[in-house]
Structure 1
């Protein structure tokens, strides 16, 4: 006989904490599957557990699955955070000093009011087909009306 599941009242903080715990457990299961070190029976069990955690199961069932799979998963999450924070503390970024003989060369062209940029002459004109009729006088875009000749021939 199926009994209705009791509704848990969770604050937003509790929901956020549960989501982070759930995501951690899902990531652990996915990394175990990707490692390829599991036997057929273990991978089937892992996939079944992953479906429970990612599915529409109740929070109680998800927490029970997480506890069975990982034991004290909260403590394991804290340990992993400590390991990651130690790794981040060891990293230092030092700015690189430029080589003594290095030079930065820039091509400089001077533009007058009467000259145009040499690159602008090489840019092709862009033609856009559509209903727009208005164009700016010095625009690179030309709007041409579409003849709308393409039609689907549905019966």
Structure 2
């Protein structure tokens, strides 16, 4: 009997077990995913990275934005790229909340004096007695 050929694991579809997650957990994951994507894009946009970091950021971004990558892989990539990204998200929310608290909204009172300027609609037709420059055509 001939030995069996080993399967090519690279061409096999990823093991995507049908794991049902609650809608709240799915929404929380989406928030975390979008935060990580935003952080990577802002890092690339600033242009302060060396070529190796740009390559790593791009690879990570492509993995996170992939529709075929399994959820477990995305979480692993997010953890590798950002460490404890959940606490970083909370810290950023606290900073933004304090900035929002400093903003004051006041009611704007419209001005009682308004001026409307209508554009003139005169048909200006020059007469034959208009001034012309007399240049010599020599």
TM-score by shorter chain over 0.5: yes
Q: Which residue of 2 aligns with 1:25?
A: 36
TM-score by length of 1: 0.61
Q: Which residue of 1 aligns with 2:76?
A: 64
If each structure's strand is expressed as a fraction of its own residues, which one has the higher value? 1
Q: Which residue of 1 aligns with 2:3?
A: none
Report whether the alignment pairs 1:89 with 2:105: no
Q: Secondary structure at the match of 2:32?
A: helix
How many pairs are equivalent?
105
Cα-to-partner distance string for 1:42-81 (whole Å, 9 max, x where unaligned): 0001000000000020000000000011111011101101
CA distance in 1, matches of 2:15, 2:39: 31
Q: Secondary structure at the match of 1:4?
A: coil
Q: CA RMSD for the aligned pairs? A: 2.3
Alignment of 1:88-127 (within 5 A): 88-95=100-107, 103-105=113-115
Q: Secondary structure at the match of 2:15?
A: coil
Q: Which residue of 2 aligns with 1:143?
A: none
Higher relative contact order (CA 8 A, sep 6+): 2
Unaligned runs of 5+ in 1: 108-155
CA distance in 2, matches of 1:48, 1:106: 57
Displacement of 1:106 in angstroms is: 6.3
Report whether the alignment pairs 1:16 with 2:27: yes
CA distance in 2, matches of 1:61, 1:4: 11
